Structure 1
Amino acid sequence: MHNGERGTPGTPSGVSRRTDPNVPPADPTATAAESLGHFYSQDAKDISRHYSGHQTAASSTERAQSAIFMLREFNNWVKAVLISHFGVSNNAALDLCGGKFGDLSKYMGLGASYVAVVDIALLSLREGILRFNQTLVKLGSQAACLLEEAGREVTDEAILSRISEQAPVVDFIWGDCFMHNLRDHFKQQGTSFPFVSCQFAMHYAFETEQRARCFFQNVGSLLQPNHHFVATIPNKRVILDRLSATNWTYSPEDPTPPKVGNGAYHIRFDALSGPVDTLPEFGARYTFFLADAVDGDT
């Protein structure tokens, strides 16, 4: 899959690139096995199994018919704005919990030269690798057509040169950024990042103080000084305000709050050990359900 080129201009050393973009991998499982570094913890298995159980890809028509189509469009717009505004063109980016690599086109639009994608869900990473390889195939075909139209010789080198102008080098890393030190992995490459992103996943860090500290230590050690870390995360105050609006009052006989939500979503809370205003800083769990989407615990 890789030719092991080092020191590619505009990318960190030690990063490898696909050699033949016109030949997709026959087996994405094999591709993943070749491409992944392993930082995996027992504590991450529940989350990994959760996301790996939602890998059925929807067609564009099915997505358009989804009850949350406009919400997805809004979320994608938010991510696109964050990445384009704070990311650094012709440079590296770290995408934590990037899974299926749905933000590939956003990094291509930014002009990123290298993206490291870290996730604990192996099947999500496999889907991300497949998405990336399919994009390379498409770019390779387009490059070949353009070369032919220009009357130039169609060679692997010419195709790769055109692809490198449009697509970043990408590493997919199987890792738990909430429980393991990622710094040692990137230190071997001499890599740090002017841009770090974690979209719709950072709430998993707050299960325990240890997980939160580990996550922010990873971010702090890998982010270059005076650059940006961006994330999206549920608003605790809004969630609690919506619970308060139900006029529910805690009692030992009734420790479980009612569900809150609407036709598109609802939140189910775990039983509490005291009133809402005594919730702990870490480990206050709830389950979020969104129509046509992956349900998530926090």
Structure 2
Amino acid sequence: MDNTVAKHYNQRPELGTEHRKQSPIFQMKSLNNFIKSLLISKFSRPGYTVLEIACGKGGDLLKWKQARIRELVAMDIADVSVQQAEERYQKGRMPFKATFKALDCFSERLEAEIKGWVFDIVSIQFAFHYAFSSEERVRQSIRIISNGMRSGGYFLGTIPNSIIIVQKLREHGLEFGNSVYKIRFEQEKLDPPFGLRYWFELLDAIDDCPEYLIPQPILISIAKEYGLELVLLEPFHKFFYENYEYSLDLMKRMNIFDADGKIPIDQWEASGLYSAFCFRKI
């Protein structure tokens, strides 16, 4: 599965900002960026040291710049993506120190690669579901993340909303979606709580890749075992509405709305498949 995911993201080209504006899911991508921006600005402080797991092609570098962090350690399983992220960092003349590494971020290698750092924030955006292929992999990942953080530090990110996904599975059967996304399960039985695989396709983003459900009570319980207390776990739509009034100018600048001042309904539905989370190390 890891090779499949790495190959998929390595093969996706870096097309630049102007081309991304032509994406058929541009409003959804902009909304996702808005949610990530809110999370980072809410919990980050100037001078922080950050571990970004599954950094991709460096799409959040500007967010860390705006947060005025001191140092970034960025990792991803896709080596081509890591190279592109490092190139973006160099071209962007970012005012913080950065280290880039290509590795399976949910393997035991992570522990050795982050030795010597103490992180104020660990960020995993749209990738933590890959750890849920087994209980061992989840526990190992959360243990390493917690051990690498300072007391009071934050583990934050964005994950598939298992409650919504399972609800749609019950209502529509093994395969469901709309014009921009499709989810396909292999079976309806959702037991045990790890390794619950489905196939996800998102127009102009993800080409029928395997993902795993993250049962929210299981995530909260295991995180607590490793000294991480829940601060925030909210569906994207709720998070959006809670920040709507005082973030309207930011939303407009980030091009969340189309020419009619709306988010197209199918993109809005697809965005509802996700939740934002944050844990604090106690």
Q: Which runs of 4+ in 1 moved over 6 A?
A: none
The answer to whether the 8 Å contact 2:103/2:109 transfers is: no
Matching residue of 2:107: 179
Q: Deviations over 1:28-58 (max 9, x none)?
A: xxxxxxxxxxxxxxx732321121121x122
Provide the residue aligned with 1:263 in structure 2. 179
Give TM-score, length-normalised by structure 1: 0.67
Matches within 5 A, 1:197-216: 197-216=123-142
- Counterpart of 1:133, as a letter, is Q
- Quick check: 1:117–1:170 contact (8 Å CA) kept in 2? yes
The residue that corresponds to 2:83 in the other structure is 126
Cα distance between partner residues in 1 of 2:56 and 2:110: 16
How far residue 211 of structure 1 moved from its aligned partner, in angstroms, is 1.2
1:51 equivalent to 2:9? Answer yes
In the alignment, what sits opposite 2:206? 294
Choose between structure 1 and 2: higher strand proportion: 2
Please give the alpha-carbon distance, in whole angstroms, between the structure 1 residues aligned to 2:90 and 2:109: 28
Query: 1:114 touches 1:169 (CA, 8 Å); kept in 2?
Result: yes
Distance 1:181 1:265 in 2: 33
Residue 280 of structure 1, CA deviation: 2.2
* 8 Å contact kept, 1:181–1:214: no
Tell me which amino acid in the other structure corresponds to 2:154.
Answer: H
- 2:261 is matched with none
Instruction: Note the C-alpha offset of 1:167.
Output: 1.4
Q: Secondary structure at the match of 2:21?
A: helix
What is the CA–CA distance in structure 1 between the aligned matches of 2:86 and 2:9, rounded to whole Å?
A: 16
Question: Comparing both chains, which one has the higher relative contact order based on Cα–Cα distances under 8 Å and sequence gaps of 6 or more?
Answer: 2
Task: Give the Cα–Cα distance (whole angstroms) in 2 for the partners of residues 87 and 211 of structure 1.
Answer: 27
Select the residue among 217, 220, 223 that pairs with 2:143: 217
CA distance in 1, matches of 2:78, 2:110: 16
Structure 1 vs Structure 2 CA RMSD: 1.6
Structure-1 separation of matches of 2:85 and 2:113: 20
Structure 2 match to 1:282:
194
Q: Is the 8 A contact 1:178 1:211 kept in 2?
A: yes
Among all aligned residue pairs of Structure 1 and Structure 2, give the percentage whose two residues are the same amino acid. Answer: 33
Correspondence 1:134-283 to 2 at 5 A: 134-136=91-93, 167-187=95-115, 190-246=116-172, 248=173, 257=174, 259-270=175-186, 272=187, 275-276=188-189, 278-283=190-195
> How many positions carry a matched residue from both structures?
210
Amino acid at match of 1:178: F
- Which residue matches 2:32? 75
Per-residue deviation, residues 145-172 of structure 1 (Å, max 9, x unmatched): xxxxxxxxxxxxxxxxxxxxx6110000
- Give TM-score, length-normalised by structure 2: 0.71
AA aligned to 1:47 is: V
Contact 1:88 1:195 in 2 (8 A): no
Secondary structure at the residue paired with 1:286?
strand
Is the 2:133–2:195 contact (alpha carbons within 8 Å) kept by the matching residues of 1? Answer: yes
